Each structure stands twice: as C-alpha cells, then as structure tokens.
Amino acid sequence: MLSFLSENLTKPIIMCHSMVPLSEWRNDAYQNFFNALTVAQYQIPEVLIVCENKVLRGNWAIKYSSTDFTSFITPNL
C-alpha cells in the first residue's frame, strides 16, 4: 500500500524485516540493515523490502508466513 501512496519518488523507501529482534542472540536484523544500506546507495526510487538477503519490490511483495524466515515473497514474478 505504501508504494501506491507514494507517487513521484526521488529517493528509495527501504523497509527492513527481521524475524528475530536485534536484542536477541543470532538475529537477522544486522544483516538486513546492512543490506538495506547497500541497496540505498543505488538510489532506486521505489518502495523496497529487504529480508533474507533479498530485495523485493514493495508493490509486488506479500506476507507469506509469520513464523518462517521466508516471510515475504513475490508470487508470479
């Protein structure tokens, strides 16, 4: 929804997703945050989701699972 509400973007909007909080041992938050910083350097003017070493377009992604690390997918893409 955020990607459809944001028109004429000049900068990326990047959402990081982690299944394990930053305060917990063996979390995935650090890796997702650093991946988001890397993607932000490319200046892609879209809403993006970064999770599990993947970058997904915000308007194609759906929440697949609330318990698996594969929580967002882009079906038919």
Per DSSP, 6 falls in state -
Q: How confident is the model at residue 47 (pLDDT cuts 50, 70, 90)?
A: very high
pLDDT in the model for residue 17: 82
DSSP strands (E only) in 1-77:
13-16, 47-51, 54-57, 62-63, 72-73
State the average pLDDT over residues 41-60.
Answer: 90
